[in-house]
Amino acid sequence: MQIGMRNIKTALAVTISIIIANLMKLQSPFYTAIAAIISMQSSVKASFKAGRNRMYGTILGAAIGYIFALIYPGNAFLCGVGIIIIIYLCNTFKWNQSTSIACIVFLSIMINLNGKDPLLYSIYRTIDTFIGIIIAVLINYFIVPPKKHKESKM
């Protein structure tokens, strides 16, 4: 068995994501790396789609998480209500592929604030994710692009 290009490109995307997050002094390079992993797919088009779905979910989860954290961060009942709202909105917008990440981002804001400003925390989660997505899509596009000739009409 050999190490394939997707494996190498994922590792490269994670490495670059962490380096950039550290250079930008972001609070959690962890979230940047996760976005890079999830966005690295078997084709550039699939990477773009996974990244788009992750961004939709992140923005929705961060927005709802911010609002609920203003009310009562960490409250178990509000966490449940927030999940219901997020799943409902994802279904309404037909963002089914964004549902899980929207719920995870929401919970990360509701549960992990630890005295941090909810607005800044929400913004940082969104920025972290955006950076990881951009890096993964660019690496997938420029470094040995899979099926590039078939996807030029992306």
Contacts 24+ apart (CB under 8 A), 96-100: 97/49, 97/50, 97/53, 97/57, 98/53, 98/54, 98/56, 98/57, 98/60, 99/57, 100/57
**Model confidence over 76-115: pLDDT tens digits?**
999 999 999 999 999 999 999 999 999 999 999 999 988 8
Could you read off the pLDDT of 40-58 as tens digits, one per residue? 998 889 999 999 999 999 9
Q: Across all residues in the chain, what is the average pLDDT?
A: 92
pTM of the model: 0.87
